[in-house]
Amino acid sequence: MKVGVVGLGLMGGPMAMHLHKAGLLAAVYNRTRSKAEPFEKLGVYVAQSPADLAGRVDVVIVMVSDAPDVEHVLFGPGGVVEGARPGLVVVDMSTNSPEWARRFAERLARHGVEFIDAPVTGGQKGAVEGTLTIMVGGREELFKRLLPVFQAFGRNIVYVGPVGYGQAMKLVNQVVVALNTVAMVEGLRLAKALGLDMEKVAQVLTGGAARSGSIELYLPKLLRGDLSPGFKAVHLKKDLGYVMELANKANLYLPATAMALELYKKMVEKGLGELGTHALGEVY
């Protein structure tokens, strides 16, 4: 399979590099061309547009910020559908919602293009180390065919159901991530107020029942004063917004998630959205 990657940011860049090492990467495209230069030096074709990329590969991976960005990459001027041929597969690995995933699948099907939603979790660290968890929604036979692609940068690859189920599972994941992060930030505030040794706090939180992905990934960074993103706060705010849209439609009461969304909204309003999700304490 020849694979192309659209979007070479914090996540897409490392994922594309793993695909190159696996001998699968045929082309890349990024709106800011400078991010594609490391791949050009490796002999990877740098496409002029998503359409140009789509015409050269069997599988297009899209890793951009939000649903409107995915829509533009697929259907905008110079978009994937302009270069697509029947049998092409589009894999959306960004995070949006089940409704968007089903909409993309329906529109691409008119062009003879198949679609899979396969968002990831594990942050930039997981992308760099090739240990991401990938939640895949789509036709199961197609999932099995694409497994070598996912295995290039993922360790925990889970087929969760038809189109849209990947995004649904990711939103569940984001609720737990957000609430774990709020718990970590508030626990650390309490620890500081009580005068505890923060290294010993870390020893307890990473070894007992409070242990979580947020603790393991981000507590060491917080102790160093490093607020740089492994996952940007603005993106978690976007994801929680999708969660609450779905919850409101289903008349589902999620008070803690609603609170977390308000906290991340405050982060973005204060101009802190480009920091990591673990920098939430900056708004307290």
Lookup result for tokens 């599988």: 59
Which residue's structure tokens are 């694979």? Answer: 3
Catalytic position from the list 21, 35, 41, 170: 170
Maximum alpha-carbon separation in the chain: 64
Give the CA-trace dihedral at 223, 224, 230, 235, to 10 degrees.
Answer: 70
Q: How far apart are the first and last CA of the chain?
A: 49
Determine the angle formed by the axes of helices 255-269 and 233-249, rounding to 10 degrees: 140
Task: Give the side-chain half-sphere CA count within 13 A for 17.
Answer: 17
Q: Is 24 helix (H, G, I), strand (E, B) or coil?
A: coil
Dist. CA 5–CA 13, nearest whole Å: 9
- Residue 112 has φ and ψ, to the nearest 5°, of 75, 20
Q: Who contacts 147 (Cβ-Cβ below 8 Å, separation ≥6)?
A: 157
Report the amino acid identity of residue 199: E
- Residues contacting 18, CB < 8 A, separation 6+: 130, 152, 153
Please state, as a whole number, how many other Cβ atoms lie within 10 Å of the Cβ of residue 256: 12
Q: Please say if 170 is a catalytic residue.
A: yes
- For residue 94, give the nearest of 189, 7, 195, 217 by alpha carbon: 7
Q: Report the catalytic residues.
A: 170
